[in-house]
Structure 1
Amino acid sequence: MTTLATALLGLAGASPAIAASGGASAAPSAPAAASPSAPSVTSVACRSGCRTGGAVARGGTITLHGQRLDRATAVVFLGGIGPRDDVRVAIRAKSAARVDVKIPATAKSGRIALASSAGVAAQTSAAPLKVTGAASRQLSTVTEPVEPTLKPVKGIAQLDAGIAKRKVGKAGVSAVTIAYVSHAPEQTVRVDVVRRADNLSIFSDERTVSGEEQQTLTWNGRGASALALDGKYDVRISTGGSPTGPRSAKFDVAAAGGAAPEGTPPPTGSTSLGAFTFVGAVFPVRGTHNFGQSAARFGAGRGGRSHQGQDMMARCGTPVVAARGGVVKMRTFQAAAGNYVVVSDPVTGQDHAYMHLRAPAVVARGDTVETGQLLGYVGSTGSSTACHLHFEIWTAPGWYEGGRPIDPYATLKRWAKLG
């Protein structure tokens, strides 16, 4: 998910009604005191149609996080100065904490506001939301799953369930969230993630639950020591087993450099909640790019030393995302590398370095990031003569901690095919 915090401050304050618009050229006014019962927004994030510089395309989707959002009746895109270009979008938030809003085709850059049935509005206090042309799937980075919609499970009495997918690229999914509620006084429920290639359950969670208590779990393809193989999977649910408490199948590293979770077939009579295509990695440059000439390759001469990564040429401002999820090990500036960030994958033990970013990475040291999550934007900081991303892969135990850099070219080409 692309966070817009740097381009759009959280909504704050309230006024009796939406009477005037605030555009980019208007000086921000101090917000009025917020009503304790008014809906309020604490952050805004891009879900789809994300553009460079924090902009969102028309037809894209933003997520508002906040409080009492279920009391809001509309989001108003205020555009420029005056009410003539205001665009109101009716909403019906199911959650008090978040709501998704599609950018209308007629919306213009400017502040946004919330309206409630009482006519109370909460308006942005500073920078406007940047709205650009129609959305393009090619530049979207990652779509966070909304809360699963629960529906009665076919063939299983007194059980509602649903899934939500965390999408990356055009068709891949890096994680699924599963939720269910039993309406029986007590019921043993089992959830399996089944690999379609061999019908083996490579993850299972089984627990005895009390009635009307929602259960939620997430599968992201990661085990204690390996990643699940890329491919098609199915989420299945069943009841009536022996309660064992939450558990997951064992993951073992495959000989071919990947990861092959071991498993057993799902219980007979289990019901599918939905299928998806799992991808454990994505290409880090989310836009038009090329791999440059011979000087851009790993091992090329660099004035008495060797090039330790692969350069990918792209326009400055092109989004850079985490090729694989992990923990941010380093985020800083260095004279040669410019603005850079290093993400450590706790499963494979490898580290990935992203260098010459346009500005400091949008994540912080110690943060956990997901596959496809925005890290920053292509730049030319440090020792650089053109806009590009310098990307490195370090073997375990990692970046300047006993590991060594390896040629990432073949891996990057494979990730490019995943989208």
Structure 2
Amino acid sequence: MPPTPLDPRRLAAAAACALAGAAAAGVLAVPALAQNSGGASADPGRAAKPAPAASGAQRVTDVGTPAAVTTPPKPLLITCRTACAGLDIVRAGGIVRVTGDGMDGARTVVFTGAKASGDEVSAPAVSVSPDAVDVVVPAGAVTGPVQVLDAAGAASRTTRKRITIASATRASSAAAAPAARVDVKKVFFRGPHRATVSVFIPDGPPQHVVVDLVRATDGVSVGHWELDGAGGTVQSASWGGVVGGNVQRDGRYRFQIQLPNAAGASAAQASPTLAPAFTFLGDMFPIRGRHTFAEGVGRFGAGRAGHTHQGQDVFAACGTPLVAARGGTVKFSGFQSRAGNYVVIDGAGTGDDYVYMHLKAPSPVKKGDSVYTGEPIGEVGDTGDAVGCHLHFELWTAPGWYTGGEPVDPLPSLRAWDAHS
């Protein structure tokens, strides 16, 4: 990184970080401050910081769907789509959807049948989204779980849930009532999965399906969909956490489904079908392992020689995975003598910047990348001016980190994210 003007706030943050690490490790002396790139001794009241964004740079606050990320396929759920006799019951020749992580890498779906029976059959997978593929149930498929093969032929684990291949007799007896289910129980804003409800339409004439999303705490409807579905199909509606351009509050939500009567009248059912409730969250705790919040000089606002610590230190073993607490756009990713390996992400829908320092190695995400909530960004380390393995985390108000914003105490947010994720 080219030399940049020294800034007293960066040294204060780095020195407090080092003091926190020393206190945790029982070290009494603070390591000597490194020299700047010009060779002169660094002033104890100043420190270098990474260069800010160029003048006129535009902030990215897009709250849409993040770019697809290629990961090994991990199928989690199977749902019938056509020729259905239920959410998990399909007639031969129907279509099923396999949902999971990294499904954009899936090329083949294997219907494994009964365990160790040798009755496996496979069919090509057709991508419908980064986390789902559709497949036509091939002739000879029997009831059982499925697994997914990627382009190299590597096989995933089989799904826990089975798909039932129904005979015509069994299908007609099973197709009796509507049913609904939500694919996941916890959804993060700009995360890898949206909140998706799947609604089974019983055999019969086409139905007009009315779906409402209701916030459990106050009963307010925050989403509305109208779907048209033929009998014996499964229809879906999905939600990413945004209503009218605004990210909704954390909490419990539930889809409510109403089907007009078979004659197609406008009057809806008196009692709607309720899908299981799910939790919507805006942020995820960034350290995915055991950790301890620093006290004293590791706290935000801790002072030494008139300077303040601008973040919160969280101690964890070196190598503990780190993820993006909130999806967004990477503003900085690099190395700096004080911060070590560091990443700055412009949190989507917030105007805030999320700052991660002392990563063990350079982050896999680079400036300009679009990342999702929970995406791996590195590991806990002790690079830069740090003593003891820890994450130094900062939270800056708009317009952002050293571009006119101000640091705020991130500990209340960190504790809240830690409690729910």
TM-score by length of 2: 0.55
Aligned mates of 2:273, 2:176 — CA distance in 1 = 12
Given that 2:73 and 2:105 are in contact with CA atoms closer than 8 Å, whether structure 1 keeps it comes out as no
Given that 2:213 and 2:253 are in contact with CA atoms closer than 8 Å, whether structure 1 keeps it comes out as yes
Aligned mates of 1:92, 1:336 — CA distance in 2 = 57
Which structure is larger by alpha-carbon Rg, 1 or 2?
2
**Shift in Å, 1:394:** 0.9
Alignment of 1:124-273 (within 5 A): 162-165=181-184, 167=186, 175-180=194-199, 187-208=207-228, 216-224=236-244, 226-240=246-260, 269-273=271-275
Which one scores higher on RCO, CA 8 angstroms, separation ≥ 6?
2
Q: Does 1:96 align with 2:125?
A: yes
Which residue does the alignment assign to 2:24? none
**Shift in Å, 1:349:** 1.7
**Shift in Å, 1:211:** 7.6
Report the RMSD for the aligned CA atoms in angstroms: 4.7
Give the 3 Å change call, closer, same or farther, for CA 302–358 of structure 1 in structure 2: farther
Aligned residues: 286
Structure 1 unaligned blocks of 5 or more: 1-41, 49-60, 75-86, 101-113, 130-145, 242-265
Aligned mates of 2:197, 2:109 — CA distance in 1 = 23
Which residue does the alignment assign to 2:109? 70
Helix, strand or coil at the partner of 2:255: strand
Aligned mates of 1:359, 1:300 — CA distance in 2 = 27
Aligned mates of 1:46, 1:123 — CA distance in 2 = 11
Aligned mates of 2:282, 2:75 — CA distance in 1 = 20
Helix, strand or coil at the partner of 1:44: coil
Aligned mates of 1:413, 1:123 — CA distance in 2 = 39
Given that 2:223 and 2:243 are in contact with CA atoms closer than 8 Å, whether structure 1 keeps it comes out as no
Structure 2 unaligned blocks of 5 or more: 1-69, 77-99, 134-146, 165-170, 262-267
More strand by share: 1
Aligned mates of 1:411, 1:294 — CA distance in 2 = 18
Which residue does the alignment assign to 2:28? none
Aligned mates of 2:221, 2:404 — CA distance in 1 = 36
Amino acid in the other structure paired with 1:310 = Q
Amino acid in the other structure paired with 1:399 = W
Given that 1:285 and 1:320 are in contact with CA atoms closer than 8 Å, whether structure 2 keeps it comes out as yes
Give the 3 Å change call, closer, same or farther, for CA 377–166 of structure 1 in structure 2: farther
Give the 3 Å change call, closer, same or farther, for CA 166–160 of structure 1 in structure 2: closer
Which residue does the alignment assign to 2:344? 342
Which residue does the alignment assign to 1:107? none
Helix, strand or coil at the partner of 1:274: coil
| Alignment counterpart, residue 386 of structure 2, candidates 384, 388, 396 | 384
Q: Deviations over 1:87-116 (max 9, x none)?
A: 9x997778725899xxxxxxxxxxxxx999
Aligned mates of 1:295, 1:95 — CA distance in 2 = 58
- The percentage of aligned residue pairs carrying the same residue is 41
Which residue does the alignment assign to 1:111? none
Aligned mates of 2:108, 2:235 — CA distance in 1 = 23
Alignment of 1:361-376 (within 5 A): 361-376=363-378
Helix, strand or coil at the partner of 1:69: strand
More helix by share: 2
